[in-house]
Amino acid sequence: GENVEQHPSTLSVQEGDSAVIKCTYSDSASNYFPWYKQELGKGPQLIIDIRSNVGEKKDQRIAVTLNKTAKHFSLHITETQPEDSAVYFCAATQAAGNKLTFGGGTRVLVKP
Amino acid sequence: GAVVSQHPSRVICKSGTSVKIECRSLDFQATTMFWYRQFPKQSLMLMATSNEGSKATYEQGVEKDKFLINHASLTLSTLTVTSAHPEDSSFYICSARTGLAGGQGTDTQYFGPGTRLTVL
């Protein structure tokens, strides 16, 4: 089955700096890669996703890149703000509606 | 759009009792819903996949007789934790799959806010 590894497990950045989270996956058949943000005591919120037919996608301060050859994808947050502090999870699946395999999560702390 | 709700948000019960958690898709029809549990500072662990009108598919190691799942309509799935014990205390989260989008044959999962279960 699919295995997703996520690094780093914790990330502390100064407000205004960029944050980068990296994930690798094992199943070359995976073609859908969402990213979720989870705040304390809440459910995960989809923030961006990418499908295998594109290499990069951007939405304001958030961007995701995908390298299918190397089987890794990354989340980039620019101009970080304190409200970006949360746990971020990457996931992978063969199709968007199928079972998601999650990474272990990255706890991001943005220091004012 | 694509809002998923859960009820209750928090429940405390005595050991041996059963607890039902509801998951609703508020503004879309969800042919498939997923149930997860999450322990503190850990990732989400898929428990089962629930398809409307059919039996749920459980992940390996998840007791189907203990975690009863019913998906009777396109907007509602329920998870019942039967004879709950302290080790069942956890954060239970559901997600719902939206319909097909853009003719691409792909769709997206949206998560509910979670239910914190504490078994005394």
Q: What is the pLDDT of residues A68-92, one digit of tens each?
A: 999 999 999 999 999 999 999 999 9
Interchain contact A29–B (C-beta under 8 A): no
Tell me what pLDDT residue B107 has.
Answer: 67
Interchain contact B42–A (C-beta under 8 A): yes
Tell me what pLDDT residue B109 has.
Answer: 86
Q: What is the pLDDT of residues A26-78, one digit of tens each?
A: 999 899 999 999 999 999 999 999 988 889 999 999 999 999 999 999 999 99
Question: Among residues 44-73 of chain B, which lie with CB inside 8 Å of chain A?
Answer: 44, 46, 49
Q: What is the pLDDT of residues B42-87, one digit of tens each?
A: 999 999 999 888 889 999 999 999 999 998 888 999 999 999 999 9
Distances (CA, A) of B60 to A1, A5, A48, B90: 12, 20, 29, 18
Distances (CA, A) of A56 to A33, A78, A86, A90, B13: 11, 15, 23, 15, 47
Type of residue numbered B61: G
Question: Among residues 73-92 of chain A, which lie with CB inside 8 Å of chain B?
Answer: 89
**CA distance, residue A9 to nearest chain B CA (Å):** 10
DSSP string, A40-109: TTS--EEEEEEETT-SEEEETTEEEEEETTTTEEEEEE-S--GGG-EEEEEEEBSSTTS--EE---EEEE
Alpha-carbon distance B119 to B70, whole Å?
22
Alpha-carbon distance B8 to B74, whole Å?
20
Q: Between chain A and chain B, how many beta carbons pairs sit less than 8 Å apart?
A: 53
Taking CB atoms and an 8 Å cutoff, what residues of chain A touch B7? none
